[in-house]
Amino acid sequence: MSGKSALFIVAEGSEELELIAPVDILRRANINVTIADLTDSEHVKTKSNVLIKTDAKLSDVKCNKYDAIVIPGGPSYKTLAAASVVGEILKTHEQAGSVIAAICAAPFVLYKHDIAKGKNLTSYPSVKSDIEGAYNYKEDSTVVDGKLVTSRGPATAVEFGLRLVEVLLNKEEKDKVAKGILYPL
């Protein structure tokens, strides 16, 4: 293993491609990935009705320390934005210098929990107007600002995963995984 760890926080409606692409890519880079559902469910039911088994109960791991907290998008973003436990996990990890990552509508979760305000960030266009006042909003497909990694939507989920590997490990590891998955062709 790489010695690095990442916690993916999901809820009913999480976008499966935005979950699975970075999980796959981080595990290919030997990063220890844990998927946990807000309601401690054994499975998360994703946006397009795929049932994906979680790795842990969020209540069991919420006090653990991870090198990255990753939040996929999908309609779950509203639930996650309203959940105080998600805010606590994000704040603790931001203060500890961990990587904070969100894709699609999930940057709204960061906004609601008062995370990384003022930094460079992007999101799915639908939540831009809600959050752009609090950040230096960008239109790039994936934006890295120090330990903050954000991306725009399902079609950018592979790039999002690769940039996370680069931030958590290094460019060589990112390039190795990219080559294996044929990115870019």
Which residue among 6, 89, 104, 149 is the active-site one? 104
Beta-bridge partner residues of 7? 34, 69
Q: Compose the 83-122 pattern: x for residues touching a second copy by CB under 8 A, - for all others.
A: ----------------------------------------
Does the protein bind a second copy through residue 127 (CB under 8 A)?
Answer: no
149 binds a second copy (CB under 8 A): no
Beta pairing class for 32-37 and 56-57:
parallel
- Burial status of residue 122 (CB atoms within 10 A of its CB: 0-12, 13-18, 19 or more): buried
Give the burial class of 95: count Cβ atoms within 10 A of its Cβ; 0-12 exposed, 13-18 middle, 19 or more buried. exposed
Contact 51, 12 (CB under 8 A): no
For a second copy, the binding residue among 124, 160, 164, 174 (CB under 8 A) is 124
Whether 183 contacts 162, CB under 8 Å:
yes
The residues in 9-48 that bind a second copy, with binding defined as CB under 8 A, are 15-17, 20-21, 23-24, 27-28, 35, 43, 46-48
Where does this chain bind a second copy (CB under 8 A)? 15-17, 20-21, 23-24, 27-28, 35, 43, 46-53, 124-125, 141, 152-156, 158, 178, 181-185
